[in-house]
Structure 1
């Protein structure tokens, strides 16, 4: 049995960042992870500017640059081989990170673990979390098994679950089932390869092709000349790709000629990797003596590649807020609640944006009309559509109602001139998307806490969730229920409880 300020379960994006910040503030931090690093994990790998800023703050930036990453300074979007928009990435407020990185997870996560240790965190690899400990209605620590099979009790003022979508911590504190979720429509199939255009401007570009109902992307990676080539089509593609990897890959090449041309001549191809069934969700993520960070608390569809950025943001924000509040239980609990509210406000717009991107349907004529207009601007102009991915501005700021109305009008005019038979579908789809957008704006303005209200057209029904995992035989502490929503579908607002 040992006493600490904070115990963190999970040592990847959220966990190691939180540990580095807390240890830097002089707190006694222990991090437990089942893996031994370097260790791979399934990921889209893209790290947007906000995540790069976190690496700078905790002192991990130079370690990454030592591995010769490609600095992707531009975004290129191509719609149905018809319209191409090329823009520079903007930088978040107060940041110089106007670029995007793609760092292999074994490399990146090892750097994060090393950085946490340099700040004084005790990172223990090969440890298995068993259960949380309770005292007086509060989480007071964890029970865990070391690599030799010995059981330990680690007592702490705060336990952070940063252990991913299948979070054992969430299960043990009663937060396993999301209070809000959305079914994904896309599957993710990708492989690593050596970039055949490593010495061109394309190696500094995140490229995306939107062909029909599928997306293709290329992410120049680290170290050069490595790159990821990725396809996000219907979720059914994943099962086919696992059964016939090269046959389906060749099908992708035929289906997406622009993407195929970009990677033509690539060498050193890895095997295919894939995933499907990744519903987006929000879990209750704070309670007496505990909090969830990263995918443990919130996950959005990987189609927009913001998972790593948000996990680092959560770990950094939670640790920064909690560090000065750890010595008083009431102050800590109110702080954790405020963290969860801040997390929701930070991620809500991107959650809905990702939900819209995972729909399996043809590209929106309104979006194509806006892209066609944006393609006429000088490349040196300020970033625009790229700001949504980079999280410089919310989608609602980049596409205000007046701009959506203009795109709607441009799409109708284009149909009247070039494809009149498509006009009824364009009008129907445009009006439907506008209604969804208005509901999202209303939700963001209301700032409801743990709202269970669904926005039809953004959140897709049909998602399922497995039963709560059973406790290991040596974990006997009782679970405590998470906060229940009130009768109107919302939990009380933050201003009431904090």
Structure 2
């Protein structure tokens, strides 16, 4: 069996893995990245990047390549629901004042090319099958190459950036989440040849009843239309997906109008039974950035930003201490804690939006108010783009004021308003308690099975 050594081996070369490989290589480390795919290669993803995600691409040096894919710069955000439409521009984050929706076949290829240019060795068609361990530390991987031969890479650190069904997470015993929540929504999405140039700089989302639908212009003149129905209305099978997708679009009049003269390109893709989670993501000689360690429902489009950011920050923290196991373990644990503290509030907020329920009276009043209040509209968008924490979206007492307006307009009964306020208060207390507990207790213990020999 062929065996070689590196400073770090990265399993998976998409967003998190490529970001880690780029940053390790910039620190002068010898990086070998393995991926079972051959690039350019597509993957199941709704791939919207808010400005903070675009800024990560710029930090990694990949943005010029990504821009060449031709996806338009989305400078306006639109949200519609209950007869109200909110429009606002994206606030600039380190010089980036636009979002982008780049298909993964182009985005991942740009990241892979940037990693290679940075000095990382990327091997395609390489399927990791085993981990190598010594005295409880992970010390490398074994994989099958394109010819079917088995090879081995030994390294002080194995980075498992191999997605929700992570082989590395399973092999170290960390695949069972310590925090999880089932989504109340399923996903149906497809691409359309866009017939409306005037819409090419607008990222749009509409809600109608229990449905949520989006239209995000992307590369090659296409627009990505995503529908998220409640799971109770989802069905399996391609023929059912194609039928339901069209029916759901018809139930959102504004989205149907947006696509009226557009032509669907390709089949409808689906994702069901989604579960958001945190897994233990760092142990002796291993780490799990990206979806391998943490996943959120796509309703808030946070996954790519977090994968890029925490792949990069993992490498920045670990690269200087790869030769000192104790210092490396501390750096990995600090990195994992930082990700939890940054991502947990957004995870909680995402879980609320993923319930698959109609807009509440409070949400309707929020849309109504934001439609005529640019400052409020900007605050709401800043939560989505990670500029403002979810807990600081509304000023104290705003929810009560919105509920009072809803009751005064006769849109709902006082009992319903009281129930909604009670639920909001209960959820807020629960979320704050979870945040307080997470900060006070830190991370849970590693699973006993992690110490493999």
Pair 1:432-2:423 in alignment: yes
In structure 2, the residue matched to 1:361 is 357
Compute the displacement of 1:69 (Å): 1.2
- Give, in whole Å, the separation in 2 of the partners of 1:244 and 1:135: 50
Partner SS, residue 84 of structure 1: strand
> Which of the residues 412, 415, 418 maps onto 2:410?
418
Closer/same/farther in 2, CA of residues 240 and 179 from structure 1, 3 Å limit: closer
In structure 1, the residue matched to 2:208 is 211
Structure 2 gap segments, 5+ residues each? none
Pair 1:449-2:449 in alignment: no
- Give, in whole Å, the separation in 2 of the partners of 1:126 and 1:147: 5
- Give, in whole Å, the separation in 2 of the partners of 1:360 and 1:8: 36
Does the aligned pair in 1 maintain the 2:362–2:406 contact within 8 Å?
A: no
Compute the displacement of 1:451 (Å): 5.6
Closer/same/farther in 2, CA of residues 194 and 43 from structure 1, 3 Å limit: same
Does the aligned pair in 1 maintain the 2:365–2:405 contact within 8 Å?
A: no
Does the aligned pair in 2 maintain the 1:194–1:269 contact within 8 Å?
A: yes
TM-score for the superposition, normalised by structure 1: 0.86
Does the aligned pair in 1 maintain the 2:125–2:146 contact within 8 Å?
A: yes
- Give, in whole Å, the separation in 1 of the partners of 2:42 and 2:242: 23
Q: Cα deviation per residue 1:417-457 (whole Å; 9 max; x = unaligned)?
A: 3235x3312211221112211332343345142369xxxxx
In structure 2, the residue matched to 1:387 is 382
Partner SS, residue 200 of structure 2: helix
Does the aligned pair in 1 maintain the 2:8–2:32 contact within 8 Å?
A: yes
The alignment covers a number of residue pairs equal to 447
Partner SS, residue 97 of structure 1: coil
- Kindly report which structure 2 residues correspond to 1:217-296, keeping only aligned pairs within 5 A, or say none: 217-223=214-220, 225-239=221-235, 242-296=238-292
> Which of the residues 267, 288, 313 maps onto 2:309?
313
In structure 2, the residue matched to 1:10 is 12
Q: Which moved more, 1:7-16 or 1:270-279?
A: 270-279
In structure 2, the residue matched to 1:127 is 126
Q: Cα deviation per residue 1:444-491 (whole Å; 9 max; x = unaligned)?
A: 345142369xxxxxxxxxxxxxxx9xxxxxxxxx95359xxxxxxxxx
In structure 1, the residue matched to 2:331 is 335
Partner SS, residue 7 of structure 2: strand
- Give, in whole Å, the separation in 1 of the partners of 2:108 and 2:180: 28
Compute the displacement of 1:65 (Å): 1.3
Does the aligned pair in 2 maintain the 1:238–1:274 contact within 8 Å?
A: no
Closer/same/farther in 2, CA of residues 182 and 378 from structure 1, 3 Å limit: closer
In structure 2, the residue matched to 1:44 is 46
- Give, in whole Å, the separation in 2 of the partners of 1:212 and 1:296: 33
Does the aligned pair in 1 maintain the 2:10–2:33 contact within 8 Å?
A: yes
Closer/same/farther in 2, CA of residues 189 and 140 from structure 1, 3 Å limit: same
TM-score for the superposition, normalised by structure 2: 0.94
- Give, in whole Å, the separation in 2 of the partners of 1:181 and 1:253: 30
> Which of the residues 13, 19, 22 maps onto 1:20?
22
Partner SS, residue 164 of structure 2: coil
- Give, in whole Å, the separation in 2 of the partners of 1:295 and 1:374: 33
Compute the displacement of 1:243 (Å): 3.1
Does the aligned pair in 1 maintain the 2:230–2:356 contact within 8 Å?
A: yes
> Which of the residues 400, 403, 406 maps onto 2:398?
406
Compute the displacement of 1:245 (Å): 4.1
Q: Which moved more, 1:267-276 or 1:186-195?
A: 267-276
Partner SS, residue 319 of structure 2: helix
- Give, in whole Å, the separation in 1 of the partners of 2:432 and 2:40: 42
- Kindly report which structure 2 residues correspond to 1:28-177, keeping only aligned pairs within 5 A, or say none: 28-80=30-82, 82-92=83-93, 95-177=94-176
Does the aligned pair in 2 maintain the 1:10–1:162 contact within 8 Å?
A: yes
